[in-house]
Structure 1
Amino acid sequence: MSRQEPHAPIAEIEANAPSYDYNEASKQHNHHHDHDTPSKSAGSHSDDDGSLHSRDAREEIVAEEGAQGVARAEAFTRLLRSHKRGKALLWLLGILIWCTMFVYALDNGLTGNIFTPIIGSLYGRHAQISAVTTASSIIAAVSKPFLGKISDYTSRPFTYSITLCFYCVGFIVAATSETWAAYIIGLCFTSFAKAGIDLLGDIIISDLTPLQWRQFFTSGLTSPYFITAYIGGFIVDGLGITDADYGQWRWALGMFCILMPAFLGPVIVLLFALQRQAAQLGMISMGASGIKRRGQESTTRGQTTWQIIVAASISMDLVGLLLFAFGFGLLLLPFSLAKGAQGGWSNPSMIAMVVVGFVLLVIFALWEQYGAPVPLAPRRVLRNRAFLVAVLIDFLAQFGSFVASIYFSSYIYVTQDLTDYQWTALTATTTVGLCFFGILNGLLQRRFHRFKAQMLFGSVAKLIGYGICMTAGNRATTNLAALAISRILIAMSGMMVGGARLASQCAVAHRDLVTTIYTVSLISSVGSSVGSSVCASIWQNRMLTYMREEIPATVPDATIRKVYASIKTLRSYPLDDPIRIGGIAAYQRVQGIMFIVAIVVSAAGVIITFFVPNYYLGTQHNHVSKRDLDGNDVGGPVVRDTSNEAPPTTSGQKAWRAIRDAWDFPPRKPLAA
């Protein structure tokens, strides 16, 4: 690929961007909106003053009143496409966001895979890594809807500012921690922040791209992993993290307090500047015009601070988020904590946590259905088939991946005698592969305007990848070549997950885009949390038992507990030492169980892929409005244009048409606006 080729997509997206009369556009949109408002469903009616009394209509009005962030995003999108320096500003914004994601990628690759296992060993808490991962996943799961709502209610740069504050505080706490508990608290803060950075990157890319380029540019945000995956090893070596004294591990964490503000800060400043300039030019977007049409120039004018806070809490469904967070956390955390609790599962507190968590989730479901003025996701989204299938695929993908991968870096560290750099590079192979195949998938989508075939290919490759990790006797293999090849095959599953997420975005209007992104991410995080809990249960209930069975009986129980608590202690024994041999055998048995779970889940993912609608990817922003980024109606088929096709006459033609229609799996009715 030449160095000039990446410019082609940008040029195509921005070509011939029209200049706007924004006041006239607002009037036209208001007229269009009056005819398109979905308030004519059975059981609802509209008064002359525009008040709507059905539940779905109330959701729409409140959502518009709390959609200032959407309005501002559409405004600066139009500014970038119509301003004489718009292209240069777009490139500047893209470069700054890429630099931010570079730091994010470096953090993800080092903190989760390297630093946490090593620091866990430092405090003798290596067995609790899965519990930390579960807690982090729960925080990320709840954070994305919360931050998504904030970004819609306020603006994208304001939400970025919140995440930056939490990010810096979290790493300061982790880097200065003197206990394992303090380190976990720091990671919880950073989990909230990283969820926001990840979500906002996806939102901004989705705001600025049509369907045919969205996967390519979304995957482009992950391209820093091509670099960070291989410089991470040098950082680990340079800071001496794996040395006997754990080297400068505090600076390993503290450096992110410097790097992230250096790159994310300019992004925030630029977005605020674009937002301000768009406001000064009088640009009015869909959400804002809907508010002004109802004579509500300011929804906060004349209100007290408390009334504004209450209104914002209702718009963000704060009650629902808290019910979900506490319920989900209480339900899953006991699976990670029970082994270390006195009496295990017979401890009353463990049972109480599970019961209370389940009850809270039931209350959450009832609240969302009957009580929430503005649910986390409107019914029009929850009833969307593409969205439901995407959610299921994402859940299963994350569940299987986290079951198999949480202790994978520890498995490699113990079973192989690799250098720190080699260990870091091998554990990063899947991440690099996901980035590569994501970008490749984006180019294939632009070329063929389809995504379903790539999804099926990726799901099958993932299944094969987990399969070759196994040996006879349901044990994980220690063959380095097989493990490396499996990482590449598993990475191809990015085509499946990326396609599913794009399908969910094809089927919703722009006003529901953020809701769709954060809801899919929410369920994805639920899958990773459940996977972490299952992984924790397997590890904590099997590993110590298997070590006692595999390590010679002459070895003291205290020594076995030491190698169980620290991968560095186990690896300090030579490969031919009976303790190391027994430890490796125990790791093989436990990791083998985890791979089996991942195989079963991956097989289910292959089947579900067939039920994804094979949407056509064109210049539309989505298939609901069928408008491009300039607001022009570009039409186009939802799945496939068959208007010019002759009816099938032979049995072969009829069979082929039936197979093709079954493969496309088109929506049974028009997509809801």
Structure 2
Amino acid sequence: MGSPLDWIRSTGAPVVEDQAAAERRANDKEANEKEGAVATDGPHGSANGENDGDSDAISLNAQHGVQAIEALTKVWTKNNLILAYATIWVIFFVDALQSTMSGSLVAYVTSDFYAHGLTATTGIMSGLIGGLSKLSLAKILDIWGRPQGFAIVLFFLTIGLIMMAACNGVETYCAAQVFYWVGYNGISYTISIFIADTSALKNRGLMLAFASSPYIITVWVGGPLAQAFLDGPGWRWAYGVFAIITPVVCMPLLGLFWVNYRRADAAGLLPKREVVKRTSWQSVVHYFHEFDVIGLLLITAGLALFLLPFSIYHHQAEQWKSPLIIAFIVVGGVLIVAFAFWEKYFARVTFIPYELLMDRTVLGACILAATLFVSFYIWNSYFFSFLQVVSGLNVTEATYLTNTYSIGSCFWSIVVGILIRRTGRFKWIALYFGVPVTILGVGLMIAFRQPGVNIGYIVMCQIFIAFGGGTLVICEQIAAMAATSHQYIAVVLAIEGMFASVGGAIGSTIAAAIWNGVFPERLAEYLPLESQGNFTEIYTQLPVQMSYPIGSPTRDAINAAYGDAQKWMIVASTVIQIVSIISVLVWRDIKVKDFKQVKGRVV
């Protein structure tokens, strides 16, 4: 394997400086950095991306996908720009609606297959692959182009929805979730890159918040829609309908891409690409190495095999002593180690560009993303079930409450975007508001997410977490993008997304391990004698849990078991938040107000 500079050369990106020069500049910057200092250069080229003589010229040394989007922004009109963002809003609205609805249906899908205890497990593999696939998607966006990547992930999303509508077991549903999350994460990621391509850095937080604003509306619609499908044609139709709607609403954005790319090509703005003649087999081999397929398989399989035993061990007769569980952990660990050796010694193109990851602002943003997702998935995995069983809410009411985070974070992220635009800074907002408010909200749930506690206290905690989380999500993305130049944005956000998805998988694993370790044990202990014979049905099916009248001895026993499991889940979620303090402290205090990072007609 070559050095990081070899990786840059292999992707067609410019080598801005040699390692010694980079170290000298980093040392000089570190010595001169103070609160209020302006970061005029990113670690991998100028912050404004001016690597050629003309600051607004197409980047001659950038990869084709970056050149193409820069050419597009030079030829499209103001009306095209407005139409693009309006279309993006509609796409996010539809995606948010079906995502909110889907979240309300998961417990019913797993219960239909007598596997309610696997509610969190269904997201582990899909979350891992969905996040890790962003690195390959970043390559597609940079090498082939933005619309090509968008079309690919739209295909995966549609296939996933069709498979969920037709699944006949929890195994098929899990497989469908993999396709779905590759597509769903890919669409949101591709659009985030497009927003980065077409907005000034000082306005980018505001535009990202604008794109997420549909969640403020869909939270009120997703729950009733899920309930309507459950009461009517069933949950299968819920997925089937959106398998038709989603491609339809995405087509206008693809059309806008296509029209303006043709216009830029006709204007001669796209640099001529050197045609490399390869046979079909040579092309397969080239892209096999370019996308580091072996590295992707090793890290995905390794993490999945290592994490899955923590959520499925309870279903084995010998539990942790089961040969299957032991084999999963050992083989998973070996594959993770093999991935590290492969990347260091054998991979022609590295899966993770280390020179980007080792920038302290980028690394801090990635660790913060992972921490937030670990914490979120621990406390949120069985939250919907808790609200229905312990708090006695119906599907619509529970959906409203679980999506308090979506409403609050999307609303507050707009405020954060405005603050970043006005002040030109983001670190202080994350450190002095985002982190402490998030820790406060999660920590208070230890006391308030218990049987018999007024639901209003839970709502209060959700509002705290929403405002804190809305702040940190925007700030972490701006931090990662501010530390590099335009041509590396796709890779940096892919790395950040990978950390988030791995964090989500770890969080789901911890949640499932605590749930399967605590809930059935406490349930068996608390259930009255007359209900002991129904233990398996009560444990595995949410509708059976809710079938016992509120206030009955059996329902009280179920609620008490829920409370014990929830307490330990939230304790773990709160403790992991300590890492978020450190991850924000290491950021450089970059001033983004005066950056010119992108070219052409942008927001």
CA–CA distance in structure 1, aligned partners of residues 596 and 474 of structure 2: 17
> Residue 36 of structure 2 corresponds to which residue in structure 1?
none
Residues 1:357 and 1:476: Cα distance change in structure 2 (over 3 Å): farther
| 1:448 positional shift | 1.3
1:582 to 557, 560, 567: 557
Which runs of no fewer than 5 residues in structure 2 stay unpaired?
1-11, 23-43, 45-50, 52-58
The equivalent of 1:17 in structure 2 is: none
Report how far residue 476 of structure 1 moved.
7.2
Report the counterpart of residue 499 of structure 2 in structure 1: 523
Q: Which of 514, 523, 537 matches 2:490? A: 514
Residues 308 and 418 (structure 1), Cα distance of their counterparts in 2 relative to 1, 3 Å cut: same
Instruction: Tell me the SS of whatever aligns to 1:539.
Output: helix
1:486/1:436 Cα in 2 relative to 1: closer, same or farther (>3 Å)? same
Letter in 2 for 1:73: I
Query: 3-state SS of the aligned residue for 1:130?
Result: coil
Are 2:253 and 1:263 equivalent residues in the alignment? Answer: no
**1:500, 1:612 within 8 Å by CA — same for their partners in 2?**
no
For 1:535 and 1:177, locate their aligned partners in 2 and report how far apart those are by CA, in whole Å.
Answer: 25
Instruction: Please tell me whether the aligned partners of residues 471 and 477 of structure 1 are also in contact (alpha carbons under 8 angstroms).
Output: no
Alignment of 1:173-572 (within 5 A): 173-239=163-229, 241=230, 243=231, 247-284=233-270, 297-300=273-276, 302-456=277-431, 457-471=433-447, 478-492=453-467, 493-552=469-528, 554-572=529-547
Report the CA distance between 1:555 and its aligned residue: 2.9
Q: What's the offset of the Cα at 1:463?
A: 1.0
Q: Report the AA paired with residue 571 of structure 2.
A: I
Q: Residue 153 in 1 paired to residue 153 in 2? A: no
1:272-326 deviation per Cα after TM superposition (whole angstroms, max 9, x unaligned): 2222221121114xxx5xxx6xxxx4243x2112212222222222221111111
Pick from 560, 570, 576: which aligns with 1:595? 570
User: What is the CA–CA distance in structure 1 between the aligned matches of 2:532 and 2:63, rounded to whole Å?
Assistant: 61
Deviation string, structure 1 residues 574-615 (Cα, Å, up to 9, x no partner): 211111111011101101111101111123323432222221
Q: Distance in 2 between matches of 1:378 and 1:491?
A: 32
Amino acid at match of 1:109: T
CA displacement at 1:619 relative to structure 2? 4.2
Task: Give distance in 1, aligned partners of 2:600 and 2:503.
Answer: 37
Following TM superposition, by how much is the alpha carbon of 1:247 offset from its aligned partner in structure 2, in angstroms?
4.7
Residue 17 of structure 2 corresponds to residue 38 of structure 1: yes
Which protein, 1 or 2, shows the higher relative CO under an 8 Å CA cutoff with sep ≥ 6?
A: 2
**Structure 1 segments unaligned to the other structure (5+ residues):** 1-32, 44-55, 81-85, 623-627, 633-673
Tell me if structure 1 keeps the 8 A contact 2:70–2:600.
no
Q: Check the 8 A contact 1:68/1:155 in 2, yes or no.
A: yes
Partners of 2:62 and 2:424 lie apart in 1 by 34
Tell me the CA shift for residue 630 of structure 1.
4.3
Q: Secondary structure at the match of 1:478?
A: coil
CA RMSD across the alignment: 2.6
After TM superposition, give the deviation of residue 256 of structure 1 in Å. 0.7
Separation in 1, partners of 2:317, 2:131: 29
Match of 1:108 among 99, 112, 117: 99
What is the match of residue 87 of structure 1?
78
Shift of 1:154: 0.9
Q: Is the 8 A contact 1:237 1:421 kept in 2?
A: yes
| 1:86-144 CA-partner distances (Å, limit 9, x unpaired) | 11011111111111111111122111x21111111121111011110112211212221
Give the alignment of 1:21-60 within 5 angstroms: 37-39=16-18, 41=20
- Identity, % of aligned positions: 29
SS at 1:133's partner residue? helix
Taking structure 2 as the reference length, the TM-score comes to: 0.87
Q: Which moved more, 1:475-484 or 1:327-336?
A: 475-484
The 3 A distance-change label for structure 1 pair 437 and 569 is same
The letter for the 2-side match of 1:369 is: K
Q: 1:546 to 1:299 in 2, by over 3 A?
A: farther
Deviation of 1:631 (Å): 11
Paired with 1:367 and 1:154, the residues of 2 have a C-alpha distance of 26
How many Å separate the matches in 1 of 2:568 and 2:400?
25
Q: What residue number does 1:73 align with?
A: 69
CA distance in 2, matches of 1:538, 1:621: 48
May I ask how many residue pairs the two structures share in their alignment?
556
Residue 365 of structure 1: how far off its partner (Å): 1.5
- The change in CA–CA distance for 1:168 and 1:566 in structure 2 (over 3 A counts) is same
Which letter does structure 2 place at the counterpart of 1:434? S
| Corresponding residue number in structure 1 for 2:3 | none
Once the two structures are superposed, what CA deviation does each residue of 1:504-536 show, in whole Å capped at 9, x if it has no partner?
Answer: 111112221111000010011111111111111
| Corresponding position of 2:30 | none
Whole-Å separation in 1 of the counterparts to 2:451 and 2:538: 19
The Cα of 1:73 is off from its aligned counterpart by 1.5
Secondary structure of the corresponding residue to residue 471 of structure 1:
helix
**1:417–1:174 Cα change, 3 Å:** same
Q: Structure 1 477/630 Cα, relative in aligned 2: closer, same or farther at 3 Å?
A: farther
Contact 1:163 1:194 in 2 (8 A): yes
CA offsets 1:424-445 (integer angstroms, 9 cap, x no match): 1111111111111111110111
Q: Which residue of 2 aligns with 1:654?
A: none
Q: Does 1:137 align with 2:113?
A: no
Secondary structure of 2:157's counterpart equals: helix
Helix, strand or coil for the counterpart of 1:470?
helix
2:599 to 625, 629, 639: 629
Which residue identity is paired with 1:451? F
Bigger drift between 206-215 and 171-180 goes to 171-180
Say whether the 8 Å CA contact 2:98–2:222 is kept in structure 1. Answer: no
Within 5 A, what are the aligned runs for 1:633-648?
none
